[in-house]
Amino acid sequence: MSDNLVKIYDVTLRDGTQGEDISFSIHDKIRIAQKLDELGVHYIEGGWPGSNDRDEGFFKEAKKVRLRKAKLAAFGSTRRVKKSCDEDASIQALLKAETPTVTIVGKSWDFHVTEALRIGLDENLEIISDTVEYLKQKTDEVFFDAEHFFDGFKHNPEYTLKAITTAHEAGADVLVLCDTNGGTMPWEIEAAIQEVRAKLPDASLGIHTHNDGEVGVANTLYAVREGARQIQGTINGYGERCGNANLCSIIPNLKLKLEMECLSEEELMKLYEVSHFIHELTNLPPIKHGAFVGDSAFAHKGGLHASAVMRNEETYEHIKPGIVGNRRRVLISDLAGRSNILFKAKELGIELDPQDSCVNDILNELKKLENEGYEFEGADASFELLVRKTLGEYRKPFHLKSARTITEKRTEDEDPMTEATLVVQVDGITEHMAATGNGPVNAIDQGLRKALVKFYPSLKDMKLKDYRVRVLNTKHGTDALVRVLIESGDGESNWSTVGVSHNIVEASWKALIDSIDYKILKDEAKKAEKARG
């Protein structure tokens, strides 16, 4: 094995699921395992068989799945006190999982041995030896997770080293040094591993860190520099408390900064996709600020930054975004300059002459609207409509003549009902429509589509995907200015629009109108292109 090769051991399906608000079904876990295999990780820890039905069900289903590269690992603990391995149900559950690799966790901090297990220090060493030796006879690989290794090393290094030496002599293939409480500093990691390598020069070492001190990634990289060749972590840093070390940061740093072998270049390009695929299954808010894979990781807002990046990306980017499957974004806001406008317009398929006065017109209108509370960073469709209106390329597809909503609640226990009545005009034809919905915004949305679908049939494919409200000046209470962001889609693409008002219904209406306008604009452009081609 090359000394430059670092093997990636993913613990998202076990440690990751211990994070607050994270829960994966058996089906989710199978899909995640397949995605991790596509990414090219070397090991996937599927869970703790025997501890819960879900993990047991995963290993049963996983036997039907063929993985390209990754090996599945079952996780468990050393045998119980006063139980032989043959008698211990959790040890037998590990074998029943039938994985090529088994990882067991054992105590390496004397404090935990005496306080948690409440046994003698020598008895703990005997348990470690028995368990590793027993499993090594029955499985291809046995990894030993030395729980609380670094805390133990600080308090009683002699015993902690004795614990991992015992596992090594019993046949453990890798000794994984764990910063279980996540409070160790990088230089402490460095010093401890130097002593381990002096004591056990022929041992294969791994590293498993938590992020309670916000140095989980740094600690992992320091461990690799000192010779650890298996690294454990989770996708997006999911995990208990503050999370585990984040593989989405560790992997590119290993590959690009430390020049270690871990994933191929083609596999590394899948990092963004895998990160967001797994995050989508958590149902948590979108990843924005994550290093390498966050949507803001290569986003440029300041005009000077955008201008410089357009000339040479190295001015404000430490790697090319595409290396990890991400992309550059130039944001549109009141901090924007002409370069932002030109870049964003080009991204939307609109070629602007840098010398044309319309660029300044667009910039001035943008800054005026943002001063009123609008935000176009996450509303590309509204920005495109603004540009096309300024260029005179926009034809209003319909006009609202009147709109009224009535919300009625007849009894205290009954859900309220809202009815919207609208009058719209399309090419001189007036259409009256009434609709009910769950609140005024939903009722208007329903009524508007009903009124317009006879003129624009493709609107039936349009769906509202997300609806967000932000109060802009909370001190004004219910009279506050609000910003509404709407995300819509039609099965082919998604787009976002924005509306601002002191009236939440009007703000929603503005965002909704932009969304429908954009859908019609998009479809008409597609028809025109088809006619030309």
Q: Is the pLDDT at 68 greater than 90, yes or no?
A: yes
Q: Averaged over 387-392, what is the pLDDT? A: 84
Q: Is the pLDDT at 450 greater than 70, yes or no?
A: yes
* CATH topology classification for 399-532: Double Stranded RNA Binding Domain (3.30.160)
Give the chain's mean pLDDT. 89
pTM across the whole model: 0.73
Cβ burial of 414 (10 Å; 0-12, 13-18, 19+) is exposed
Residue pointed to by tokens 């520099």: 225
Of residues 299 and 12, which shows the higher confidence score?
12
* Domain assignments of the chain as residue spans, ordered by start: 7-263, 299-391, 399-532
Residue type, 225: R
**Model confidence band, residue 3 (pLDDT cutoffs 50, 70, 90):** confident
For strands 417-426 and 399-408, give the pairing: antiparallel
pLDDT of 334: 45
pLDDT digits (tens, 9 = 90+) for 343-369: 777 777 777 777 778 888 887 887 788
pLDDT of 310: 57
Q: Does residue 233 contact residue 182 with C-beta atoms inside 8 Å?
A: no
Comparing 148-157, 261-270, 332-341, 431-440, the range with the smallest average pLDDT is 332-341
Three state DSSP letters for 281-324: HHCCCCCCCCCCCCCCCCEECCHHHHHHHHHCHHHCCCCCHHHH
Most confident listed range (93-97, 360-364, 444-448, 516-520): 93-97
CATH class of 7-263: alpha beta
Write out the two tokens for 222: 């320091």
